[in-house]
Chain A
Amino acid sequence: MLRIDCPCCGPRDHDEFRYGGDASVTRPAHDDSDFEAWYRYVFVRKNPAGAHREHWQHVLGCRQWLIVERDTRNHAIASVALARKPPTKQPPTNKSPARKPSR
């Protein structure tokens, strides 16, 4: 069995997770009109025989999306990390970004 060490829940059987595919693929900007960029996003995959960065979601656990680095030849997992970084705390500031500059 593949065992994924979830950063929130600890080591769990991969049957608890949903596979989300190649994590190296990035979606083009919504207004990007480059055909090649969209073609590659939808269809082209590196599909390596070796280290593969991929999305897994812990659907039967914390429901977090993870990025797992796994060797596709032997399923050895090199790293597991949260796909989305937790927001870093900003020091409080007087300036509100919503405030218009005063004249």
Chain B
Amino acid sequence: MRRYSALSLLANGLAGHRHWQRAWRAPEPKRSYDVVIVGGGGHGLATAFYLAENHGIRNVAVIEKGYVGGGNVGRNTTVIRSNYLLDGNTQFYEFSMKLWEGLTHALNFNVMFSQRGQIVTAHSADQLDFFGYRANVMRLNGIDAEILSRDDVRRLVPYLDYSDTARFPIHGAIMQRRAGTARHDAVAWGYARAADGHGVDIIQNCEVTGFLREGERIVGIETAKGPIAAGKVGLAVAGHTSVLGHKAGLELPIESHVLQAFVTEPLKPMVDHVVAYGADHFYVSQSDKGGLVFGGNLDGYNSYAQRGNLGVVREVAEAAIALMPCISRVRLLRHWGGVMDMTPDASPIICPTPIDGLYLNGGWCYGGFKATPASGWCFAHTIATGKPHPLNAAYSLDRFRTGRTLDEAGVGPFAWLQ
């Protein structure tokens, strides 16, 4: 793998950009690997990269049904933050934030991580008190957090509704200045290129149709390109965790739901931060191309279709205009859906499974993008050593049996209400 640098850009520019190496190979699958990761999204590719980088396991394949970056890693709203409340989550997401801060250099690929800050508005005195509690938890864990007064918020984000007729008046906000956004495709491409540079085979357009077994143990996978033997198999397939889990014989506490995201026509720079509405489900940032990127609630029924319904478009638009009346005449350019693997407690699962040889990474609900580096780091550790890393020890599958759920925003068996 040739390293990217200012010099290589200059040299290739002078040569008319005809000599760039392809970013990763397109190998045919070998008959066997030490580790096979199912799912070539952000988490799967990051896992393969850290298996090679941290654990020296380079005989690894990533098997992807579609193409790299075609799933949720290319469909999200790219928000990165570490403002979680509960032990287990707080430390995990902060570790992820720290990996984000060095990711461009670690991958030699510009992921365009922009720490523009995230502001969550509070709409009552009680909510602001609760944000104070959250900020204290974060600061005790060494994470930056600030409480903003209404005047502070008005200075930073003057385009919100501060009028006397605002449906939910703004009382203040919580802000994490290190939060921000990244270029989501670059994350997938950067991990793919860096993993490939370590010798990982990335095999696209190759659906996994089943598992190879020896007794109870899983010893490989069946794919569209034939069987592939594997010392260990890791699943990182997001919304399709139940489908592959079912083929392996796992019973999972997961439901798949569709979440929509939206982009408006390009505007001049206006939204300099990530802003989240504390009174409803709406959050917005502005892309480098100028489009406002925002999202809201789940569509609210089990779905594997990567598209949503108009009812939610209306709800999200209502929330958007309640917070930012100034965008009421802005036109929506496009909207799309991704399939979310929702767990009952809104926290993910990274663990060995009861089936020998099979490891699980899933249940990311709609918060998986920000977790990509830490998820790959911890899943690689779990696969390499057979035991969870201290950072993902709480993300076990049996926490639902033992009652040790991490109820960050969970609603139990009513996943569609999250």
The segment out of A47-55, A58-66, A78-86, A95-103 that lies at the interface is A47-55
A21 contacts chain B at the CB level, 8 A cutoff? yes
Query: Nearest chain-A residue to B256 (Cβ)?
Result: A47
Distance, CA A39 to CA B243, complexed state (A): 20
Contact assessment for B253 and A45 in the assembled complex, using a CB-CB cutoff below 8 Å: yes
Give chain A nearest CB distance to B302 CB in angstroms.
Answer: 5
Q: Is the CB–CB distance between A45 and B309 below 8 Å?
A: no
Known contacts A2-B309, A19-B300, A21-B414, A47 near B254 by CB under 8 Å: yes
With contacts A47-B242, A49-B243 taken as known, whether A72 is within 8 angstroms of B305 at the C-beta atoms is: yes
A90 adjacent to chain B (CB < 8 Å) = no
Of the four ranges (under 10, 10 to 19, 20 to 34, 35 or more), the interface on chain B belongs to: 20 to 34
Which B residues from 182 to 226 make CB contacts under 8 A with A?
none
In the complex, besides A1-B311, A21-B416, A54-B301, 7 extra interface pairs with C-beta distance below 8 angstroms are A19-B301, A42-B344, A42-B413, A43-B344, A48-B242, A49-B243, A75-B303
| Residues in B370-415 with C-beta less than 8 Å from chain A | 400-401, 412-414
Interface pair B305/A75, CB less than 8 Å apart: yes
A-B contact pairs, 19 of them (CB 8 A): A1-B310, A14-B301, A22-B255, A42-B344, A42-B412, A45-B242, A45-B254, A45-B413, A47-B242, A47-B243, A47-B254, A47-B255, A47-B256, A48-B243, A49-B243, A49-B304, A72-B256, A73-B304, A75-B303
The answer to whether the Cβ of B246 comes within 8 Å of any Cβ in the partner chain is yes
B residues neighboring A (CB under 8 Å): 240, 242-243, 246, 251-256, 300-305, 309-311, 344, 400-401, 412-414, 416
| Contacting pair B413 A73 (CB below 8 A) | no
Cα A75 to Cα B240 in complex, Å, equals: 17
CB contacts (< 8 Å) of B309 on chain A: these are 1-2, 14
Q: What's the least CB distance linking A57 to chain B, in Å?
A: 12
Indicate if A74 sits at the interface (CB-CB under 8 A): yes
Q: A14 contacts B311, CB within 8 Å? A: yes
CB distance from B257 to the nearest CB of A (A): 10
Which partner residue on chain A sits nearest B306 by CB separation? Answer: A73
Indicate whether A44 reaches chain B with its CB closer than 8 angstroms: yes
